[in-house]
Structure 1
Amino acid sequence: MKSILTLAMLAVIIPAVASSHNDPRQDTVIIELNNNSKIVIVTKSREDLASLENYDINQMIRDLNSQLSDSVEYMEINDGKAYVNNDQVEMKDWKINDDEIRIKLGGVEVDVDPDKVDDWDDDDWNDRKKVTYEADRADRTTHHFNIDIGLNNWLEDGNFPAGNAPHSVKAFGSWYVGLNSTNRTWLAGPLFLEWGLGINWYNWKLEDTDYIIVEGADATEFNLAPATQNGLKSKLTASYINVTAVPMFDFSRGRQKITSIESSGLKIKKYSRKGFRFGLGGYAGYRIGSHTKYVYKEDGNREKDKERDDFFLENFRYGLRAQVGWKGVELFGTYDLNNVFSQGRGPELNAISFGITL
């Protein structure tokens, strides 16, 4: 009987929506039942109405019958995924107890119950439950941890240094790494603000490995190594702690695709953003460390020299950060507006980097 009721509901919904296209009440669907009863469905758009196909109406009615006696005057469902159809597998969030462990990195969240995982075997994974659903923005501000991985270089008068310049950097191999604790705050409409604190590492690897980076009396110098040494690697590394703020236009308005997999004491959730987004903002940072590394061969032996110093690097950095994303892919680019080295203490260079955010 209840299955017939569900089919009847769907049969009434479709023509009701079509006929109300030009009606100011088009967002409301009224289904007349017997005994002067009716079901009223209020939606914001045709797409929202279509999403009802993903939910188990029969389960909602069973819950009502078990909890209420004679009649129902009002019902509000706040957590729709509790009624996801059985063919998508019903999944509910775990409650994290003191003995459970939660690890969240980028768009992946792992919950582990050690007591259950101790007894876990391969057969448990074969019986795993999986569900994929979409969810709107739940909170005004959300927090996540992400990693920036990319390449960095520096610009001299707006151009990359000439290939024969002592400070010319390898296009590939000069890695940029950033660890970021990021908050995402909804402001209005599609506008969000991504802000937070992070640490990043610049690695500038010289194109000509026969040059050594040294701190001279008055400036950082790029000097040729002794003729007896065959250079293998020469680089400068600097690390900074940063604050970042990037206004973002997210045209999916924070909507996410969520894939949840559960097996015994293990649960994995993957969050993927929807739609297109972009933003441009700024950052400021303070240098917390720097060193050079020179790897070479001499008399057939591999040697490595590492020196820690400030190398006349600017202690503060500030610049622009651009971000662009499409669904689960997020790209970034940064440009330091100030020079890498203090004025007159080295080549006039501006750091630049680009890559992917995980």
Structure 2
Amino acid sequence: MRTLFTLCCLIAFGQTALALPADSLIIRFGTSSRVAIYAPTKEQLKKITQYDLNQIVREMVSKLDSVPEGQVYAINEQNGKRYLRDTLIVVEKSGGNVTISVKNDDSRSNESSDDYQRERSSRTRTTRTYSSRSNWKVNTDFHIGLNTWLNGPTDALYNGGSFELSPLGSRYFAISLTQNPSIVRNEHVRISVRYGLQFAWNNFMFQQNVRLEREANGVAFQTYPVQLEKSKLTVCNLEIPVVPQFAIYNSSRKRAFSIGFGGFIGYRLDSYTKIKLENNDVIRDHNSYFLNNLQYGLQGNIGVAGLNFFVKYHLTNTFQDNRGPALRPLSFGITI
């Protein structure tokens, strides 16, 4: 009841004595409790809406045990500033960016009391910027890694030793232009789908002293008559990846972990063999080599902090059926 008595006795700007005013507002709670607010005029009564009455009640309740019996706590123009409804939410849009700011009215800062300043500084003010373009902007990524072949047969025509690959010489490189729109997004979780165009180069460096040759009915790995510095097959594909993504963000809104798994479909743009002799002469031959033009498969990625790793597996054979060994490329590496 001491709190109710407090509210009944104040919010009359500059009034230090209680007198019956011309205008009043009485709010009843049940049959025995009421809040009465007095003001000399209707205009001053309307000014009470500038104050946060909820905050006043909460603070008075917290001080209930420490206020001496019969004391009246008056809210005037000086100490009342700390209860003003000064929270301002500003929404600005410029150049496709939407900025949401929560801040105080700085026009009151010079005339605020020390209590108001402490109250004001203790509140957390946040500003967040969301880009309406961020979901649709084009990202450019570079994928660097290694290649290997899986599912190689061991028959006499295509024995494993003839097309064995150099582990470090068989490199993978790709450039992707993708978008990554969000499906679900909040401060800590994001679910999105990455898609776009990707140019990929698969280099298959042979371990043995062989060169890939196109014959009438298929390809053959022919032993070269002189020693070679290197011999490889390069295949360039244009691909369309579609990879759903799941990401977790920390309290600083930086990505802590992400994982994605999806697939791709592509088409062969070019292919060639390249050999380098010991005297540094280079021979390059562009040919289809009975390669499958249509390629598709699975691909995924894992991101930890600022590191990104990818893996990619072809579900189609490199060569056409009965034209070459049944080999399927597997690529893995990092994305920058």
Q: TM-score range by the shorter chain?
A: 0.5 to 0.7
1:176 is matched with 172
Distance 1:158 1:164, change over 3 A: closer
Distance 1:234 1:157, change over 3 A: closer
Measure, in 1, the Cα distance between the counterparts of 2:302 and 2:283: 39
Letter in 1 for 2:182: W
Report if the CA contact (8 A) 2:87-2:105 is conserved: no
Q: Are 1:289 and 2:336 an aligned pair?
A: no
SS class of match (2:168): coil
Measure, in 2, the Cα distance between the counterparts of 1:348 and 1:151: 19
Matches within 5 A, 1:75-114: 80=127
1:280 is matched with 261
Report if the CA contact (8 A) 1:137-1:256 is conserved: no
SS class of match (2:239): strand
- 2:236 aligned to which of 234, 239, 258: 239
Q: Are 1:222 and 2:225 an aligned pair?
A: no
Q: Identify unmatched segments of 5+ residues in structure 1.
A: 1-11, 20-31, 43-54, 67-77, 82-134, 258-273
Matches within 5 A, 1:100-249: 139-156=134-151, 165-189=161-185, 190-208=190-208, 210-226=209-225, 229-249=226-246
SS class of match (2:326): coil
Measure, in 2, the Cα distance between the counterparts of 1:345 and 1:158: 13
2:320 is matched with 342
Deviations 1:97-150 (A, max 9, x none): xxxxxxxxxxxxxxxxxxxxxxxxxxxxxxxxxxxxxx6675443421111111
Measure, in 1, the Cα distance between the counterparts of 2:145 and 2:136: 27
Report if the CA contact (8 A) 1:317-1:338 is conserved: yes
Residue 327 of structure 1 and its aligned partner are, at CA, apart by 1.7
Q: Runs of 4 or more off by more than 2 Å in structure 1?
A: 32-36, 38-42, 60-66, 78-81, 135-143
Measure, in 1, the Cα distance between the counterparts of 2:242 and 2:222: 39
Report if the CA contact (8 A) 2:135-2:179 is conserved: no
Measure, in 1, the Cα distance between the counterparts of 2:108 and 2:269: 60
Measure, in 2, the Cα distance between the counterparts of 1:329 and 1:171: 23
Distance 1:277 1:288, change over 3 A: same
The two structures have a TM-score, normalised by structure 1, of 0.56
SS class of match (1:141): coil
Residue 296 of structure 1 and its aligned partner are, at CA, apart by 1.6
1:304 is matched with 282
Measure, in 2, the Cα distance between the counterparts of 1:63 and 1:340: 71
Distance 1:156 1:64, change over 3 A: farther
SS class of match (1:166): helix
Report if the CA contact (8 A) 1:294-1:304 is conserved: yes
Measure, in 2, the Cα distance between the counterparts of 1:333 and 1:302: 34
- 1:351 aligned to which of 313, 329, 332: 329
1:72 is matched with none
Residue 56 of structure 1 and its aligned partner are, at CA, apart by 11
Distance 1:196 1:204, change over 3 A: same
The two structures have a TM-score, normalised by structure 2, of 0.60
Letter in 2 for 1:37: L
Distance 1:245 1:164, change over 3 A: closer
Measure, in 2, the Cα distance between the counterparts of 1:158 and 1:256: 49
Measure, in 1, the Cα distance between the counterparts of 2:330 and 2:314: 6
1:34 is matched with 80
Measure, in 1, the Cα distance between the counterparts of 2:282 and 2:289: 19
The count of corresponding residues between Structure 1 and Structure 2 is: 228
Distance 1:218 1:192, change over 3 A: same
Determine which structure has more spread, i.e. the larger CA radius of gyration. 2
Deviations 1:239-285 (A, max 9, x none): 000101000111229x855xxxxxxxxxxxxxxxx111101100000
Letter in 1 for 2:263: G
Residue 302 of structure 1 and its aligned partner are, at CA, apart by 3.2
Deviations 1:289-331 (A, max 9, x none): 000011123xxx3322111100000001000001110121111
Measure, in 2, the Cα distance between the counterparts of 1:184 and 1:33: 52
Q: Whose RCO is larger (CA < 8 A, sep 6+)?
A: 1
Report if the CA contact (8 A) 1:203-1:237 is conserved: yes
Residue 152 of structure 1 and its aligned partner are, at CA, apart by 0.8
Percent identity (aligned)? 26
Residue 61 of structure 1 and its aligned partner are, at CA, apart by 4.5
Report if the CA contact (8 A) 1:175-1:203 is conserved: yes
Report if the CA contact (8 A) 2:153-2:160 is conserved: no
Report if the CA contact (8 A) 2:206-2:231 is conserved: yes
Measure, in 1, the Cα distance between the counterparts of 2:172 and 2:204: 9
Q: Identify unmatched segments of 5+ residues in structure 2.
A: 1-54, 63-77, 90-100, 111-124
Distance 1:188 1:212, change over 3 A: same
Letter in 2 for 1:329: L
